[in-house]
């Protein structure tokens, strides 16, 4: 197990390195410069500012300097916020993003499982069809459309929740709902397909032959077996949440990383773009690693084979 | 109950399946008894309705199945009329079932001890600890070596034969009165088959249970069964004791089945098969359903359904060949050979115990 973990962690760093490299050069291909009032600057002023940030050097040298910085543990300084450290910027904005992402994940997965399970158990009834419609809507409707609808109806018309801002839990409810729709739908679809399969398997037939109740069969046998493949969905779901958060955080003015990221791209704040990308990649890689470990815990068949490797 | 010896009495059972193509008449007027402590084998080819018949005893028919007619009496009550909740108290406790494929019939994510303990917790209200303790006893009984060390293992850690032993342990843990074994050895290789059959016979004596044994393997029937019912196209066409069916078969379908089973006396390189395919039960044929595939079919076979003709007190067959006015026919050579043997067996006082040397 330890050997396996070490190997996975090595791959994790390799992945991050490749992501950082690719992002760096792609980012340099973007049009524009970090300078805000470029037109008003004289060429010499411009040159001196670029030199100050090391942007006058050839791209490959900038790359080497940046990677060197990372190995020293520094993500660089932000251009747009008067030389704040990027790591500090991410750290100070992590709270709201994590809270939102976490809440959306929990809400989405739990209700998704319930919806999917109901669909599978009551297959081909109105309950199943309703669950299908909900999950199709959840996948088809983009989170920003849902966000605006939620803001308009629940926020503005009914006045139940604040429309935007970030001053406590109530403020997190609407963005959480907007963000949770997609994982909810994905989970419901996944669980339904999976559980329909599981429910027609021989061991469920045997469980029925034991005289177990419907609930007992679903709870003790079907759910666990349907949840195992579900674990592999956690990684992609987390990725979807991250991208979703960029839009949703902007709409609800949540002071999170996603909002920051979008701004940085607009103003060519290179160190922040790099920093957030690496941070998100690292988070996703860690989640995937965690997923594999969890997979081994709930599926006894994988535990042993994981050992040998 | 018509007969106190009977554990289960099935009368005029008729089951249809609603499909997109129409109503499939899967079970067409089936009646049989299961006596206390006996093993009744139901044989027939795929689709003859043997599995559907037994599923109906468990109340485990597919949702598109409709019981059109008939009754299944168990403990003086009709199982068909029972609610799902009431059936849950019978399933696994009074009537238990063993399935065909041990590789897929155990929950891959649950320890086997717990899987065996589940029925005890459900039906006997045992606490988990007591139930696991009894599960351990059961593991010993079905011959799992080192049961203490293996009770916490998962199914994938066992071979197919061992898994079938575990499935048997699950089925028998509540000492059911009736055990339905749906082709329990079909998925196993021959040496393991013999072990599992021996185990079932052994446990039948210890636990005192009646077994309904579904199979298409006549070799297995010979070794296991007391009585045999032959099913074809949703009907029982012949039933009798195992000797009567094996050595004095009357229905052309039974002849065909026995004739296509190779024996040590089979000469030449080719195996005999029954020509044709079973009829489409969306629109079952009039008369004897086997007539279209039978070399012995008469005109009446396509017009009128044959009733059961009595061969002996325990042996009945539904074929017009047994009608007094029917012309005498000569069955296939193999069957004639068997019938001669049967006649010889009838003579000496204690009849020679049947089959295995066959």
CATH number of the CATH domain containing A173: 1.10.3720.10
Determine, yes or no, domain membership for B90.
no
Q: Are residues A205 and A109 in the same domain?
A: yes
Number of domains in chain A: 2
> Which of A78-82, B24-28, B120-124 comes out lowest in average pLDDT?
A78-82
Determine, yes or no, domain membership for B28.
no
B271-313 residue pLDDT tens: 778 888 888 888 888 888 888 888 888 888 888 889 999 999 9
Rg (CA), chain B: 21
Cβ A156 vs Cβ A136: under 8 Å:
no
| Minimal CA separation from B208 to chain A, in Å | 19
Determine, yes or no, domain membership for A281.
no
Determine, yes or no, domain membership for B146.
yes
Chain A residues within an 8 Å CB radius of B58: 209
Q: Are residues A238 and A128 in the same domain?
A: yes
Q: Are residues A147 and A225 in the same domain?
A: yes
B22-49 residue pLDDT tens: 899 999 999 999 999 999 999 988 888 8
B228-271 residue pLDDT tens: 999 999 999 999 999 999 999 999 999 988 888 877 766 666 77
List the domain range (segments joined by +) for residue A183. 93-267
> Considering CB atoms only, which of A209, A225, A301 is closest to B156?
A301
- Residue A40 CB neighbours (<10 A): 9
Q: Are residues A262 and A136 in the same domain?
A: yes
Q: Are residues A106 and A240 in the same domain?
A: yes
List the domain range (segments joined by +) for residue B265. 244-312+321-346
| Minimal CA separation from A218 to chain B, in Å | 12
Determine, yes or no, domain membership for B332.
yes
Cβ distance of B99 and A205 shorter than 8 Å = yes
B169–A contact, CB cutoff 8 A: no
| pLDDT value of position A302 | 66
Number of domains in chain B: 2
Determine, yes or no, domain membership for A5.
no
> Considering CB atoms only, which of A206, A211, A300 is closest to B88?
A211
Residue where one domain finishes, among candidates B175, B203, B229: B175
For A222, the closest chain B residue by CA position comes to B107
Chain B residues within an 8 Å CB radius of A209: 58, 60, 91-92, 96-97, 99, 171
Chain A residues within an 8 Å CB radius of B87: 211
| C-alpha span between B55 and B60 (Å, rounded) | 5
Q: Are residues B249 and B338 in the same domain?
A: yes
Cβ distance of B105 and A206 shorter than 8 Å = yes
Determine, yes or no, domain membership for B267.
yes
Residue where one domain finishes, among candidates B175, B191, B206: B175
Q: Are residues B253 and B337 in the same domain?
A: yes
ipTM: 0.84
Cβ distance of B109 and A206 shorter than 8 Å = no
Q: Are residues A179 and A39 in the same domain?
A: no
Q: Are residues A99 and A49 in the same domain?
A: no
A230-244 residue pLDDT tens: 888 888 888 888 878
B residues 257-296 lying closer than 8 A (beta carbon) to A: none
Secondary structure (DSSP) of chain A: -HHHHHHHHHHHHHHHHHHHHHHHHHHHTSSS-S-SSGGGS-HHHHHHHHHHTTTTS-HHHHHHHHHHHHHTT---B-TTTTT-BHHHHHHHHHHHHHHHHHHHHHHHHHHHHHHHHHHHHTTTSHHHHHHHHHHHHHHHS-HHHHHHHHIIIIIIIS--S-SS--SSHHHHHHHHHHHHHHHHHHHHHHHHHHHHHHHTSHHHHHHHHTT--HHHHIIIIIHHHHHHHHHTTHHHHHHHHHHHHHHHHHHTT--SHHHHHHHHHHTT-HHHHHHHHHHHHHHHHHHHHHHHHHHHHH-HHHHHHHHH-
| C-alpha span between B66 and B193 (Å, rounded) | 34
Residue where one domain finishes, among candidates B175, B208, B227: B175
> Considering CB atoms only, which of B58, B109, B154 is closest to A209?
B58
Chain B residues within an 8 Å CB radius of A206: 97, 99, 105-107, 167, 170
Cβ distance of A209 and B90 shorter than 8 Å = no
B152-167 residue pLDDT tens: 999 999 998 899 999 9
B50–A contact, CB cutoff 8 A: no
Residue range A9-25: average pLDDT?
91
For B153, the closest chain A residue by CA position comes to A300
Residue range B313-340: average pLDDT?
88
Q: Are residues A46 and A161 in the same domain?
A: no
**Residue tagged 């011959």 (tokens):** B143
Q: Are residues A40 and A100 in the same domain?
A: no
| Minimal CA separation from A146 to chain B, in Å | 39
| pLDDT value of position B357 | 46
Q: Are residues B157 and B248 in the same domain?
A: no
């Amino acid at each position: 197990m330890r050997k396996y973990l070490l190997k996975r962690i090595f791959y994790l760093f390799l992945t991050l390195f490749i992501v950082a490299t690719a992002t760096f050069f792609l980012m340099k291909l973007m049009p524009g410069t970090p300078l805000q009032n470029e037109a008003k600057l004289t060429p010499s002023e411009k040159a001196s500012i670029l030199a100050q940030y090391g942007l006058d050097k050839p791209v490959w040298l900038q790359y080497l300097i940046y990677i060197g910085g990372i190995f020293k543990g520094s993500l660089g300084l932000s251009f747009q916020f008067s030389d704040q450290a990027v790591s500090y910027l991410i750290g100070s904005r992590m709270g709201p993003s994590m809270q939102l992402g976490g809440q959306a994940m929990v809400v989405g997965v739990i209700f998704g499982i319930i919806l999917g399970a109901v669909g599978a158990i009551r297959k081909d009834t109105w309950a199943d069809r309703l669950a299908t419609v909900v999950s199709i809507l959840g996948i088809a409707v983009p989170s920003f459309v849902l966000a605006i609808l939620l803001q308009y109806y629940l926020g503005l018309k009914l006045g139940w929740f604040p429309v935007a801002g970030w001053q406590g839990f109530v403020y997190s409810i609407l963005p959480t709902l907007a963000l949770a729709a997609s994982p909810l739908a994905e989970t419901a679809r996944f669980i339904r397909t999976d559980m329909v399969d599981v429910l027609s398997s021989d061991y469920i037939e045997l469980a029925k032959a034991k005289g177990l109740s419907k609930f007992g069969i679903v709870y003790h046998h079907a759910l666990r077996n349907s949840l195992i493949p579900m674990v592999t969905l956690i990684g992609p779901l987390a990725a979807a949440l991250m991208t979703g958060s960029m839009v949703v955080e902007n709409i609800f003015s949540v002071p999170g990383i996603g909002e920051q990221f979008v701004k940085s791209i607009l103003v060519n704040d290179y160190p922040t773009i790099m920093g957030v990308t690496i941070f998100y990649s690292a988070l996703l890689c860690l989640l995937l690693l965690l997923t594999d470990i969890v997979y081994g815990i709930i599926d006894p068949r994988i535990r042993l084979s994981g050992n040998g490797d | 109950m018509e007969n106190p010896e009977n554990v289960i009495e099935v009368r005029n059972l008729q089951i249809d399946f609603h499909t997109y193509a129409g109503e499939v008449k899967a079970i067409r007027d089936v009646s049989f008894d299961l006596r206390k402590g006996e093993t009744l084998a139901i044989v027939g080819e795929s689709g003859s309705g043997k599995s559907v018949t037994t599923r109906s005893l468990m109340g485990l028919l597919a949702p598109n199945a409709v019981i059109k007619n008939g009754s299944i009496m168990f403990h003086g009550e009709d199982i068909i009329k029972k609610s799902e909740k009431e059936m849950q108290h019978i399933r696994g406790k009074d009537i238990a079932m063993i399935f065909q494929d041990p590789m897929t019939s155990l929950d891959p994510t649950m320890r086997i001890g717990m899987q065996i303990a589940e029925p005890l917790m459900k039906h006997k209200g045992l606490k988990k600890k007591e139930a696991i303790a009894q599960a351990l006893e059961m593991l010993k009984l079905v011959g799992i070596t080192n049961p203490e060390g293996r009770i916490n293992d998962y199914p994938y850690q066992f071979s197919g034969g061992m898994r079938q032993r575990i499935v048997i342990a699950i089925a028998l843990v509540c000492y059911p009165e009736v055990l339905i074994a749906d082709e329990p050895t079909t998925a196993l290789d021959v040496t393991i088959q013999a072990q599992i059959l021996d185990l079932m016979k052994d446990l039948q004596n210890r636990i005192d249970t009646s077994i309904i044994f579904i199979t298409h393997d006549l070799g297995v029937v010979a070794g296991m069964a007391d009585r045999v019912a032959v099913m074809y196209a949703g009907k029982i066409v012949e039933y009798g004791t195992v000797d009567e069916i094996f050595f004095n078969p009357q229905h052309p379908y039974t002849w065909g089945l026995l004739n296509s089973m190779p024996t040590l006396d089979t000469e030449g390189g080719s195996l005999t098969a029954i020509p044709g395919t079973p009829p489409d039960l969306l629109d079952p044929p009039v008369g004897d359903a086997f007539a279209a595939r039978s070399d012995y079919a008469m005109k009446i076979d396509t017009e009128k359904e044959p009733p059961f003709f009595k061969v002996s007190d325990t042996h009945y067959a539904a074929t017009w060949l047994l009608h007094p006015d029917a012309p005498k026919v000569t069955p296939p050579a193999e069957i004639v050979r068997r019938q001669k043997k049967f006649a010889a067996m009838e003579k000496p006082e204690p009849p020679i115990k049947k089959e295995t040397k066959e």
